[in-house]
């Protein structure tokens, strides 16, 4: 049996499951400070014979397995968690942990059990409160120096869009222009209240497609999976497919792009991609 944690800014999803991605037990714990959240997490796992725990955590988080800071949260806006170490938190239990980012865990979940099954090169993008990109490249999650932060690539602002953007670091990054909070800043309403306003989704699809065009050029994925709250707006998909091809403007000619409906696809696991990916991640714990 394995354990899994999907550590988010507002809640921690904890689960027990097996290495086939089957969840036996799942719970949600509100994210407070480490000192009030971690004991509740430990309590959930207590008394179970767990081989290892996989953790998909909000970042920035150190993912260098050979470094002493593996699993430690870096400079984050979630101040009580700065310097907190997932590895140290479980040291006393003797259960080994494997840590990756929340979006990488979700990417892994889709690659192993969902819409990326069988593919070695996939990117998973979550568009919700923030925008994150998990990159699975030649059979491995991409980490590098820290981990990719491809939600913060700068995008050309469309003429007439005077939004300041929601990212405190960049005026016109993808997250700042197209996340749920960005939509709220631009229109003064929540995304779900704007569902019938076509111009909202046309602009949203435009920014997403500009980002996808760049990801296709940089990462050369064999499939792009889109998840997160904003992507529950299904009518975005045909718009994004059409516009992404428009922005590529015939520059790339591959079989995958020729079958665009199967190239840019929704997540399959219905919100469980993160916790199932974390469960699979547990196998690589040390």
Q: Which is nearer to Zn ion, 204 or 256 (CB)?
A: 204
Of 26, 170, 184, 222, the residue at the interface with Zn ion (CB under 5 A) is: 170
Q: Which is nearer to Zn ion, 176 or 221 (CB)?
A: 176
Q: Does 157 bind Zn ion (CB under 5 A)?
A: no
**Applying CB under 5 A, which part among 41-49, 169-177, 246-254, 267-275 lies near Zn ion?**
169-177
Task: Label each residue of the chain as H, E or C.
Answer: CEEEEEECCCEEEEEEECCCCCEEEEEEEECCCHHHHHHHHHHHHCCCCCCEEEEEECCCECCCCCCCCCCEECCCCCHHHCCCEHHHHHHCCCCCEEEEEHHHHHHHHHHHHCCCCCCCCEEEEEECCCEEEEEEECCEECCCCCCCCHHHCECCCCCCCCCCCCCCCCCCEHHHHHCHHHHHHHHCCCHHHHCCCHHHHHHHHHHHHHHHHHHHHHHCCCEEEEECHHHHCCCHHHHHHHHHHHHHCCCCCCHHHHCHHHCEEECCCCCCHHHHHHHHHHHHCC
Q: Which residues pair with 23 in a beta bridge?
A: 17
128 CB burial (10 A radius; 0-12, 13-18, 19+): middle
Q: Does 178 bind Zn ion (CB under 5 A)?
A: no
**Applying CB under 5 A, which part among 117-125, 176-184, 239-247, 263-271 lies near Zn ion?**
176-184
**Applying CB under 5 A, which part among 52-60, 89-97, 152-160, 223-231 lies near Zn ion?**
152-160
- In the bound complex, what is the minimum distance in angstroms from residue 207's beta carbon to Zn ion? 13
**Applying CB under 5 A, which part among 1-9, 44-52, 163-171, 239-247 lies near Zn ion?**
163-171
**Applying CB under 5 A, which part among 23-31, 73-81, 166-174, 245-253 lies near Zn ion?**
166-174
Q: Does 163 bind Zn ion (CB under 5 A)?
A: no
Q: Does 167 bind Zn ion (CB under 5 A)?
A: yes
Q: Does 211 bind Zn ion (CB under 5 A)?
A: no
Q: Does 169 bind Zn ion (CB under 5 A)?
A: yes
Q: Does 225 bind Zn ion (CB under 5 A)?
A: no
Q: Which is nearer to Zn ion, 63 or 167 (CB)?
A: 167
| Number of residues engaging Zn ion in binding (CB under 5 A) | 6
Of 26, 78, 152, 222, the residue at the interface with Zn ion (CB under 5 A) is: 152
Binding site for Zn ion (CB under 5 A): 152, 167, 169-170, 173, 176
């Amino acid at each position: 049996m394995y354990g899994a944690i999907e550590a988010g800014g507002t809640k921690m999803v904890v689960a027990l499951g097996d290495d086939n991605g089957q969840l036996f037990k799942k719970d949600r714990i509100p994210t407070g400070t480490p000192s009030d959240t971690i004991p509740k997490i430990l309590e959930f796992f207590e008394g179970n014979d767990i081989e290892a725990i996989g953790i998909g955590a909000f970042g920035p988080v150190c993912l260098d397995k050979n470094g002493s800071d593996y699993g430690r949260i870096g400079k984050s806006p979630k101040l009580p968690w700065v310097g907190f170490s997932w590895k140290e938190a479980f040291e006393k239990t003797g259960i080994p942990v494997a840590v990756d980012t929340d979006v990488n865990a979700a990417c892994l979940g889709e690659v192993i059990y969902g819409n990326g099954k069988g593919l070695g090169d996939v990117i998973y993008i979550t568009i919700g409160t923030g925008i994150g990109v998990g990159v699975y490249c030649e059979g491995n999650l991409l980490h590098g120096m820290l981990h990719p932060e491809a939600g913060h690539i700068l995008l050309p602002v469309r003429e007439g869009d005077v939004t300041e953007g929601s990212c405190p670091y960049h005026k016109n990054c993808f997250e700042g222009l197209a996340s749920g909070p960005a939509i709220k800043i631009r229109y003064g309403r929540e995304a779900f209240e704007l569902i019938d306003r076509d111009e909202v989704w046309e602009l949203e699809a435009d920014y997403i497609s500009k980002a996808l065009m760049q990801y296709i050029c940089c990462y050369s994925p064999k499939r792009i999976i889109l998840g997160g709250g904003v992507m529950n707006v299904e009518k975005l998909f045909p718009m994004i497919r059409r516009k992404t091809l428009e922005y590529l403007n015939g520059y790339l000619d591959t079989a995958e792009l020729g079958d665009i409906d199967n190239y840019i696809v929704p997540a399959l696991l219905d919100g469980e991609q993160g916790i199932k990916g974390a469960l699979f991640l547990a196998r690589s714990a040390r």
